[in-house]
Amino acid sequence: MEKTPFDQGTVELIAYMLTSARNLMDEPALYGPFRLLDGVSRLCELVTESGHADKEFLVKLKEKIDNGKYSVMTDVDSFTALMDEAVLDITHLLMGNKD
């Protein structure tokens, strides 16, 4: 059986997630949520490029995350609000409401 090679972006995301998990053992607590949001942004990009998803939704979600994720360093309340909004966005999509 021939092995299917991984897409480079997929391997890079796996490496990012693994190294993030390891580094979180020694990093401040707020790095965890940041790294997860950044991972979602990276995954949105991979899935969008593959053409296997709602591109418009993922592009908007990625932009929202990328525009606000660094607030973790300066404004924890804004960062928390970003995570709340992202959760609501995906919940609406799952419920069939894209607005």
In tens, the pLDDT along 18-37 reads 999 999 999 999 999 999 99
Distance in angstroms (rounded) separating the CA atoms of residues 48 and 58: 7
User: How far is CA 37 from each of CA 12, 17, 52, 67, 96, rounded to the nearest angstrom?
Assistant: 16, 11, 21, 11, 23
54 within a domain of the structure (yes/no): yes
80 within a domain of the structure (yes/no): yes
55 within a domain of the structure (yes/no): yes
47 within a domain of the structure (yes/no): yes
pLDDT of residue 8: 84
> What pTM, to 2 d.p., does this model score?
0.83
1 within a domain of the structure (yes/no): no
What is the share, in percent, of the chain residues with pLDDT greater than 90? 68
Task: Judge whether residue 99 has pLDDT over 60.
Answer: no
Full domain range(s) for residue 45 = 9-15+28-94
Distance in angstroms (rounded) separating the CA atoms of residues 93 and 57: 8
39: phi then psi, degrees, rounded to nearest 5: -60, -40
4 within a domain of the structure (yes/no): no
Task: Judge whether residue 98 has pLDDT over 60.
Answer: no
Each residue of 53-97: pLDDT tens digit?
Answer: 678 899 999 999 999 999 999 999 999 999 999 999 999 988 987
